[in-house]
Amino acid sequence: MYKPLTNRKIYLASASPRRRQLLAALDVDVNLIPPREVDESYPHDIPAKYVAEYISRKKAEAYTHDIEPGSVVITADTVVICDGRVLGKPHGGPEAARDMLRSLSGKEHQVITGVTLTTAEHGMTSFSTTTRVWFKPLSEEEIDYYVEKYHPSDKAGAYGIQEWIGYIGIPRIDGDYYNVMGLPLHDLFMMLSTLN
């Protein structure tokens, strides 16, 4: 374990196996706590670039009364923004996932992950990280194959960059690759390093 980060017990409040894997890659002991039911709606007048951070703070609020001194709870939310629209997870099933992928096909979009660190001593500290992603034009056959084989219903924008669709469909990104997976590791490491 990386010693400078051992002064706090680190909790990840997320059901995402990708986030747990990514956080563990920082060589820290990760304690998983089950995510609590949170209304993930947001005000319609909030700028799209602030939505992920807003939702990460709502998730954090569910834990503010339970945090022990010397610990930190990490909550996060990822959204995709394309043509000014915020795309979360495709809750309408496979056809909703296909529609999202069609809307991303041949376009640049932004992936934004909002992260909130909550401690008993300092309360909530939030930040967000943006990565620009380009998709090649996707064929209907490619979209159908990906949705049917990979079932991306738990992924913002209906895709995982670390899966088949990312290998064949994403020729370029500008920014943090791990942010597109769901956790901006560089920025998170820097924030964790400032906690004392």
DSSP 139: P
Strands (E), the chain: 9-13, 30-33, 71-82, 85-87, 108-119, 123-134, 172-174
- Residue pair 134/108 in contact by the 8 Å Cβ criterion: yes
- Residue pair 45/54 in contact by the 8 Å Cβ criterion: no
Please choose, from the candidates 47, 46, 21, 54, the residue with its C-alpha nearest in 3D space to the C-alpha of residue 127. Answer: 54
What SS3 state is found at 117?
strand
What SS3 state is found at 173?
strand
Please choose, from the candidates 6, 32, 36, the residue with its C-alpha nearest in 3D space to the C-alpha of residue 21. Answer: 32
DSSP letters of 148-159?
HHH--TTSGGG-
Q: Is position 174 annotated as part of the catalytic site?
A: no
Catalytic residue among 77, 83, 144, 154: 77
- Residue pair 147/101 in contact by the 8 Å Cβ criterion: yes
* Active-site residue list: 77
